[in-house]
Structure 1
């Protein structure tokens, strides 16, 4: 018995050490980016690396926000990410509710075809997406980003939400149906409030994907007024001979909305992720 307790204590200690090491490995690059964003250019590449800026300056943030119309790029990213997230979560939740609650011919076949979208690398779709965007007149426009961001996120969101909707007891739907509630009322007043954890998970994933996406935006956006933050940060790196303090300051600004969204929805994040992945 004593030996078993010792083994358990040792195993717990090893787990804690592994978690601490993993946390340090993951957090260190972000801390170094944050530190470098407050350093003058002359002190960026000092050896050994300094995590406490000395001297300390806000100039990188001021220059990043005021140069190259950065504030407009930030606004474009906010518009694209918010609209894409709202549309994707709304459409995918309706699709997931249909797959979970209604019986119709070919339901499982259609669902599995939809899931193929999770297996296809996004870069393989760049050329066909470009052809479609050109055909529908969506090149060099924010709607051209929104449409394809929504389409690209539907498969994962439907997969997560369907499992959660399927876990809601069917008796609740039947009770509302006996009271005269139609399908839309049951979806909006019953399923959506109960699915908040799954909706939070889908919101975080979709917002992050739309906010950080670079390849598709770089492919179709040509006009400076339609650029988003990832393109703006890439321009800083190219036109300023890689002024890392400036690049990292712009990156920190770009990270802030993602952190805010996660903090808003993090209460439900883990529960929604595990429910959507296991049930269904």
Structure 2
């Protein structure tokens, strides 16, 4: 009996040691991966506080010495940067609001109503996700010209909304379909209309999925470059990605200035994520990505 107990103890010790080694290995891999991901951003932040003479020093300095905020001051005061920032903010916020609203209505219809061709329409909608956005540039340009939407911020908003509807509808439909149908039936017994069930039941319960769709849509609209480059000609109607590209071209060697402008452009994305992060994680894990 003693020998058996000793063997069992050794086996448990070996299993615990193996688990500990596996856990340590996972942590090491995660730490190394995190460092690889974070290092370029840290260097970008560091370079934005360097004078031009210290940008290309070797070995690279992650702690700028001396540090300066001149790059940020120049970025904010030159080449109508704040105007372009405002243009992007208007376009991204408006497009995100309309996209999430319209796609939530579509998702509610797909999840709760039965109508002829529902599955076919939904599959056609999803098929649009397989088409690369670059292939749509020429058709979008032709439509914008036909509808007199070229060189205008409303034109960008229309196409940004249209381009994000398929993904948002897919995300929201899966979440809304997971909501018990008995809740809908109870509201119908009380005489609630379809709009009331959508506004008072579906939207409050779908907050995690809506947060997920909001973050994805805002990020896509804020960073979009090819369509804006194709449609916008007037300098005063440029969005921030176009401005930074032109800024980079005009100051090709001033990396501190370019990085400072890029970091300023990241601020709204960080704010949106911080506002919606509590619901974002829940939306990813509780059904917002179900088909």
Tell me if 1:205 matches 2:209: no
* Equivalences for residues 73-112 of structure 1 within 5 A: 73-112=84-123
Tell me if 1:269 matches 2:280: yes
| Structure 1 unaligned regions, length at least 5 | none
TM-score scaled by structure 2? 0.94
Counterpart for residue 8 of structure 2? none
> Is residue 218–residue 231 contact of structure 1 (8 Å, CA) maintained in 2?
yes
In structure 2, C-alpha distance between the alignment counterparts of 1:86 and 1:260, rounded to whole Å: 16
Q: Tell me the alpha carbon deviations over residues 173-200 of structure 1, each in whole angstroms, 9 at most, x when there is no partner.
A: 0001111100000000001000000000
In structure 2, C-alpha distance between the alignment counterparts of 1:131 and 1:154, rounded to whole Å: 20
TM-superposed CA distance for 1:236, in Å, is 1.2
Counterpart for residue 247 of structure 1? 258
> Is residue 171–residue 289 contact of structure 2 (8 Å, CA) maintained in 1?
no
TM-superposed CA distance for 1:278, in Å, is 5.1
Q: Tell me the alpha carbon deviations over residues 225-271 of structure 1, each in whole angstroms, 9 at most, x when there is no partner.
A: 10011011111111123310000000000001000100000111122
Tell me if 1:177 matches 2:177: no
TM-superposed CA distance for 1:273, in Å, is 1.9
In structure 2, C-alpha distance between the alignment counterparts of 1:40 and 1:56, rounded to whole Å: 7
Alpha-carbon spacing, 1:277–1:268, altered in 2? closer, same or farther (3 Å): closer
In structure 2, C-alpha distance between the alignment counterparts of 1:31 and 1:178, rounded to whole Å: 57
In structure 2, C-alpha distance between the alignment counterparts of 1:60 and 1:227, rounded to whole Å: 21
In structure 2, C-alpha distance between the alignment counterparts of 1:60 and 1:214, rounded to whole Å: 24
* Equivalences for residues 187-226 of structure 1 within 5 A: 187-226=198-237
TM-superposed CA distance for 1:277, in Å, is 5.2
Q: 1:17 aligns with which of 28, 45, 48?
A: 28
Q: Tell me the alpha carbon deviations over residues 82-111 of structure 1, each in whole angstroms, 9 at most, x when there is no partner.
A: 000000000000000000000111111100
Counterpart for residue 128 of structure 2? 117
Counterpart for residue 3 of structure 2? none
TM-superposed CA distance for 1:155, in Å, is 0.8
In structure 2, C-alpha distance between the alignment counterparts of 1:133 and 1:275, rounded to whole Å: 38
| Structure 2 unaligned regions, length at least 5 | 1-11
In structure 1, C-alpha distance between the alignment counterparts of 2:48 and 2:255, rounded to whole Å: 8
In structure 1, C-alpha distance between the alignment counterparts of 2:280 and 2:252, rounded to whole Å: 40
> Is residue 95–residue 160 contact of structure 2 (8 Å, CA) maintained in 1?
yes
* Equivalences for residues 124-143 of structure 1 within 5 A: 124-143=135-154
> Is residue 85–residue 206 contact of structure 1 (8 Å, CA) maintained in 2?
yes
TM-score scaled by structure 1? 0.98
Greater CA drift, 203-212 or 237-246 = 237-246
User: What root-mean-square deviation, in Å, do the aligned CA atoms of Structure 1 and Structure 2 show?
Assistant: 1.0
